[in-house]
Structure 1
Amino acid sequence: MLTQYKVAAVQAAPEFLNLDAGIKKTIRFIKEASESGAKLVAFPELWLTGYPWWIWLDTPAAALASGFVSRYYKNSLSYDDPRAKLISDAAREYKINVVLGFSERENGSLYISQWLIDSNGATIGKRRKLKPTHVERTIFGEGDGSDMVVHDTELGRLGALNCWEHVLPLNKFIMFSQNEQIHVASWPSFTTYEFASGMSWEINNTVTRSYAVEGACFVVAPSALVSQAMVDELCDKPEKHELISVGGGHSVIYGPGGEPLCEKLDPNEEGILYADVELDAVDICKHFLDCAGHYSRPDVYRVLFDKQRKRCVVPIDLEDESRVENAASEFVREVSFSKDQ
């Protein structure tokens, strides 16, 4: 396992509603980060194929009439799409770990997802945002407990969350309990609804920094930009210009004590932020503060964490008696768990 290495956070505008162009831009940033010596490159939330800002600018009915919904489906990525392999191949070619934010399509549903890929192009993990925020729920489905995982990797214990998943205390506690050392906090851009509670970049950077302190871990926090082309396409009414504007990039990288590890880019500037990681610093910080370990009180409070994957259809072979019994036992267990709550 590496204990000293460089990490990279991408700050850029997505190729909005254009999956093919977005993949090309992704590979370009993977190559650039690798050639700059990084061992990990992290991308913003919904980097492919852009955050669906129209959900904040008008009614759900208006979004259906606008044509955005259909275009977003067509430009969302599924893991079995041959184009997905282009990204994992790039990770292998440039020998770099990748955490990619994207709109995942599975059959007729979309999810806010992150794909963790190692430097050999193999999948470390696939996760979905546990709870889409506010009007995001008009587009995206939910994840489950299997998406709240910290992975053993060549870079240490690696985990990832999206956006306001970092606001929910129990989300954080579950991640901290798995001895996370390096964390990717993926965000969209920060130009919309800044007047609303908790929506400003200052608040969200604070949440990110707090995660680093509470988790005693390194936090790589990429965020996207809104381009002029996106504004032109999204704003078909004058009043919408009051809700979204060009820019909004506020990417950051923090150390396990909450210290900034690099200078921020201008909010309108595309580029990559870099910082050096030294995992020994995690041990020192956890010595003082391990929220889900020596600095907790399990006699006073505990978290029930169901990490089982939940899907609405579970195929079984009726000729395989053991699988039928296991499926039935799992169903009974879930019913019992629900009654106990």
Structure 2
Amino acid sequence: MSDTCRVAVVQAEPAWLDIEAGVEKTISLIDEAADAGAALVAFPETWLPGYPIFLWLGPVVWQMPFVARYHANSISVDSHHLTTIRKAARRRGIIVVLGYSEKVHGSLYMAQTIIGTDGEVLLHRRKLKPTHVERSLFGEGDGSGLKVIDTELGRLGALNCWEHLQPLNRYAMFAQHEQIHVAAWPAFGLYKDIAPAIGSEANMAVSQTYALEGGCFVLAATQVISEAGIEVFAGTDEQRALITAGSGCSRVYAPDSTLLSKPLDEHAEGLVLADLDLALIDLAKNAADPAGHYARPDVTRLLLDTRPSSPVISPEFANEPLFPDLDEITDETTVDG
């Protein structure tokens, strides 16, 4: 494992509700990151098929056509869409941290999959608690995904959006000696002037605080929305007034909370690049290691349950693989037909 590495953080507009175009754009960004010398590329929350902005714009009956389209453009873990992305990661020898809407029969989950340089899945997780109106579309994850994993770059973990507001989630990750953290965020253009808590300034502050608390690098990936993107969701002037174009604010923070990356314009699409030196973690944790010398387990402790949770417990499903073996899939094969 090298002490230094280059990372790329996506700031881009999703191909809203178009999974084929979304996969094509994902592979293009993977190639761009690899060409820039990055060893890892981080994508925003629900990058595929884009964050469901319609949930915040109108009553349930109005949302139904969008719900149908969102389901149709979400992907399963054994789909050819995800397999294609895994092959791109293997082809370029880059770690990919992908956010997407995972479809499991009739249910959706806000998923993150960490794909290794060989295209194999290192970690698959789901957002533990979708936020506010998200709960009308997405199910909940479980503790099996609240993990930090070993990679050739260091110990890597990921969370979605307001999972970063849960102190126990953060502490569970810190206690696993996380070194590089991917914070996946949506577009921040919603309710810009009336709800600052869901805006870019507040949530980048959360990302920066995570770096300081955990003594780790934080890669905050965000979505952009254009005027054309607004038109995908907004059918009235009242709805258009609730969304502001731009909102991209992808960042990379050091373990001492320093901003390492050069910000892009909020309307710009591209990659935010930064070179990480893991030696900085020791310097940060020398001052405060929340799960080490700065802890007080005699006063406060966290109970973490990482067992998978399922409504059905059956030996029939015990050893069923989630992800297909890439070596058994030809370029012509489509796993999901």
Once the two structures are overlaid, the 10-residue window that deviates more, 297-306 or 206-215, is: 297-306
Q: Distance in 2 between matches of 1:230 and 1:315?
A: 44
Aligned partner letter, 1:244 = I
- Structure 2 unaligned blocks of 5 or more: 320-337
Q: Secondary structure in 1 aligned to 2:39?
A: strand
Flag as ranges the 4+ runs of structure 1 deviating above 4 A: none
- In structure 2, the partner of 1:12 is 12
Once the two structures are overlaid, the 10-residue window that deviates more, 78-87 or 155-164, is: 78-87
Percent sequence identity is 48
The Cα of 1:197 is off from its aligned counterpart by 4.9
What is the CA deviation profile of residues 249-297 of structure 1, one whole-angstrom value per residue up to 9, with x for unaligned ones?
Answer: 0111100000000111000000100000011111221121111221011
- In structure 1, the partner of 2:328 is none
- In structure 2, the partner of 1:25 is 25
Q: Distance in 1 between matches of 2:83 and 2:233?
A: 31
- In structure 1, the partner of 2:213 is 214
Q: Distance in 2 between matches of 1:179 and 1:188?
A: 26
The correspondence of residues 276-295 of structure 1 with structure 2, limited to 5 A, is: 276-295=275-294
Q: Distance in 1 between matches of 2:314 and 2:191?
A: 43
Match of 1:85 among 76, 83, 91: 83
Q: Secondary structure in 1 aligned to 2:263?
A: coil
Whether the 8 Å contact between 1:5 and 1:276 is mirrored in structure 2 is yes
The Cα of 1:132 is off from its aligned counterpart by 0.3
- Structure 1 unaligned blocks of 5 or more: 324-341
- In structure 2, the partner of 1:49 is 49
Q: Secondary structure in 2 aligned to 1:189?
A: coil
Whether the 8 Å contact between 2:252 and 2:261 is mirrored in structure 1 is yes
Q: Distance in 1 between matches of 2:232 and 2:186?
A: 18
- In structure 2, the partner of 1:332 is none
For the aligned residue pairs, the C-alpha RMSD in angstroms reads 1.3
- In structure 2, the partner of 1:309 is 308
The Cα of 1:238 is off from its aligned counterpart by 1.1
- In structure 2, the partner of 1:326 is none
The Cα of 1:228 is off from its aligned counterpart by 2.1
Return the index of the structure with the highest Cα Rg: 1
Q: Distance in 1 between matches of 2:112 and 2:2?
A: 23
What is the CA deviation profile of residues 89-137 of structure 1, one whole-angstrom value per residue up to 9, with x for unaligned ones?
Answer: 0001011000001000011100001110111111110000010000000
Once the two structures are overlaid, the 10-residue window that deviates more, 229-238 or 18-27, is: 229-238
Whether the 8 Å contact between 1:129 and 1:143 is mirrored in structure 2 is yes
- In structure 1, the partner of 2:332 is none
Whether the 8 Å contact between 2:16 and 2:232 is mirrored in structure 1 is no
The correspondence of residues 56-75 of structure 1 with structure 2, limited to 5 A, is: 56-64=56-64, 67-75=65-73
Match of 1:161 among 150, 159, 162: 159
Q: Distance in 2 between matches of 1:113 and 1:305?
A: 20
- In structure 1, the partner of 2:326 is none
Q: Distance in 2 between matches of 1:259 and 1:311?
A: 41
Q: Distance in 2 between matches of 1:315 and 1:91?
A: 34
Whether the 8 Å contact between 1:42 and 1:184 is mirrored in structure 2 is yes
- In structure 2, the partner of 1:329 is none
Tell me the number of residue pairs that the alignment of Structure 1 and Structure 2 aligns: 317
Aligned partner letter, 1:120 = D
Aligned partner letter, 1:254 = Y
With the length of structure 1 as denominator, give the TM-score of the two structures.
0.91
Q: Distance in 2 between matches of 1:178 and 1:49?
A: 31
- In structure 1, the partner of 2:334 is none
- In structure 2, the partner of 1:132 is 130
1:113 aligns with 2:111: yes
Q: Distance in 2 between matches of 1:185 and 1:7?
A: 13
Aligned partner letter, 1:68 = F
1:233 aligns with 2:235: no
Aligned partner letter, 1:110 = L
Q: Distance in 2 between matches of 1:234 and 1:145?
A: 33
Whether the 8 Å contact between 2:181 and 2:216 is mirrored in structure 1 is yes
The Cα of 1:196 is off from its aligned counterpart by 1.7
1:104 aligns with 2:78: no
Aligned partner letter, 1:290 = D
